[in-house]
Structure 1
Amino acid sequence: MPGPKDLDPASSPRALLGAELRHAREKTGLSQEELGGRLFVSGSFIGQLEAGTRRMQPEYARLLDEVLATEDFFQRNCAASAKSKYPEHFAEAAEAEAVATTIRHYLPLLIPGLLQTPAYAEALFRTYRPMASDPEIEELVATRMERARLLDGPTAPLLWVVLDEAALRRPVGGTAAMAEALHHVASLVGRRRVIAQVLPFSAGTHAAMGGSLKLMEFADAAPLCFVEGLDMGKLLDDPATLARHTLTFSLLQATALSPPDSLALIQSVAQTYEHEQHP
């Protein structure tokens, strides 16, 4: 099991803001639950703010300044912590992902972003943004590849993905890009950077036909769930919702092929793409 991530306050405004929040709360003698009650949120939400896994919103910054008597410290500094290179609907989830110890992810149609190659990502971005310039596309791809480097570090999270067979069969970027993308996934599996299962078409109906699902666990904060759609996404921390989605992912794992059989299918489909290039 990977160890907890170290947050550097000097390089992470959210980590600094979280550390200051913890200091101010403890100075007033309030527990996380007590402070959460003053803000009409849960104690686990306060813990997530302190751990840097949740972004501080302006309305909470104002209330914190009032409750903790910190003048306007949190209001002045929450803007810096909100700056992100990711789209607004995904920014908070991407930042939480970077400090997670465990990530479990299911996508119905795509290879997850953490497992993508530059060619695969470029094909997606050019489809999503047909009027974007080449420099804009290059910047988007570079940001995604930078995010994927999360798997290369010594404290990489335990990443468990369930890939729908549709993600393997849909030729994003053409046969060459797909062959490269699937070989990359197989390589990550072989290097033990990810556990991958494939949910085959033969499984029929399954527990997550309604959309994608990402579950994240942390060393020093309550778990989170991220659900998303077209240009929208939401982080959820309600215990009942998390329990339901955790069960959903467990059902997906039970329905999917075993990791060895999944790897064999990924490699087989990659070879099929290669044969289509060179019949």
Structure 2
Amino acid sequence: MANAIDPSASMAALFGSRVRRLRTAAGLTQAELGARTHVVGTRITQIERVSGAKPTLALARALDSVLGADNMLVELWPYVYRETYPDWSRKFMKYAEDAVTIREYAAHVVPGLLQTKGYARAVLSLDALLGSEEQLEERLTARMVRQERLDSPDRPELWVILDEAVLRRPIGGDTGMRDQLQRLLDAAALRHVIVQVLPFAQGGHEAMGGSLTVLTMPDGSHVAYTEGADFGQLIEEPTDVDRYKLIYDRLQAAALPPLMSLDMIRSAMKGNHHGTNVPSRSERRSLAQKQLQQPGGRQLRGGGRRVPDRRPRP
């Protein structure tokens, strides 16, 4: 067929080809499908030919329902939506999907991979450029889908360092914040997730401008990503990436060991927003040695770093 769209060209093309196939199987014209999903027939034409705006989440749900797609179109939608992001952003997300290790420092909010739905909604709703409730729902759905990789068979090792400000700034109300802090505690109990807190008492550091992520790829190479309030930058040049790897290593050394970090998270859950007593370096070393001696505990390297678990994943 001369006007056929190659479904492998993009996620939008795949979405359009699925809609066309389902519509044809249902014996519906484009106009009839448009009427049943409350859009004009030309909108269905645009989706099938990938010639107009990307489908909204609401339309994907309507198409799924009318065509009996068993949620297939809704599940495909976040990947279509992602194609609206800038090239560098999509490239970073592709790297993150393939990474075997994700190391992230968060200066202001909990990283997206560990956000509860309520917390994520509260954070996303703060965007001054947010146009509608529908747009908020679309962004929220896309974020929740990205979290699914943490439960997948090829899940990455995730190491998160949270600035203390992340724990002390209540976002989404008291109940929502407690739920989010509990989510951090639950995540830290998983074998493939490590959570540390960088306390205020450590003072200034090289990553204060925003968040920092360092990814380890299957071939052993690395990429880095920095993000502020209004910008993001993907770093691929090995020399530059090495500099950010060093910055992250220094953050790990300055942060509290995992067990102390969890104590600080629990303190924040109890409403103690006046901070906790931060142990001295010698006290931290002493605690790390005690953790090493605990039966069944995960080993810690010097400075409180945990030795990665090399046992096969279930």
Give the shorter-chain TM-score range: 0.5 to 0.7
Partner of 2:260: 261
The code of the aligned residue for 1:147 comes to R
1:165 aligns with 2:164: yes
3-state SS, counterpart of residue 177 of structure 1: helix
Measure how far apart 1:83 and its partner are: 7.5
The code of the aligned residue for 1:228 comes to E
Measure how far apart 1:234 and its partner are: 1.9
Aligned equivalents of 2:10, 2:188: Cα separation in 1: 34
Partner of 2:121: 122
Partner of 1:207: 206
The code of the aligned residue for 2:193 comes to V
Partner of 1:143: 142
Aligned equivalents of 1:236, 1:131: Cα separation in 2: 28
CA contact (8 A) 1:182 1:266 kept: yes
3-state SS, counterpart of residue 272 of structure 1: coil
Aligned equivalents of 2:154, 2:137: Cα separation in 1: 28
The code of the aligned residue for 2:213 comes to K
CA contact (8 A) 1:206 1:255 kept: no
Q: Which has the larger radius of gyration?
A: 2
Aligned equivalents of 1:162, 1:90: Cα separation in 2: 22
The code of the aligned residue for 2:253 comes to A
Provide Cα deviations, 1:129-161, integer angstroms capped at 9, x if missing partner.
475322221111111011011111121101101
Measure how far apart 1:193 and its partner are: 3.9
Provide Cα deviations, 1:18-41, integer angstroms capped at 9, x if missing partner.
xxxxxxxxxxxxxxxxxxxxxxxx
**Structure with larger RCO (C-alpha < 8 A, sep 6+):** 1
Partner of 1:189: 188
Aligned equivalents of 1:260, 1:189: Cα separation in 2: 10
1:108 aligns with 2:107: yes
CA, structure 1 residues 237+138, in 2 after alignment: closer, same or farther (shift >3 Å)? same
Aligned equivalents of 1:130, 1:199: Cα separation in 2: 31
Partner of 2:217: 218
Q: Which runs of 5+ in 1 are unaligned?
A: 1-9, 15-80, 274-279
1:250 aligns with 2:249: yes
Q: Which runs of 5+ in 2 are unaligned?
A: 1-6, 12-78, 273-314
Aligned equivalents of 2:93, 2:141: Cα separation in 1: 15
Partner of 1:51: none
Between the aligned residues of both structures, percent identity stands at 38
Name whichever structure is richer in helix by fraction: 1
Partner of 1:92: 91
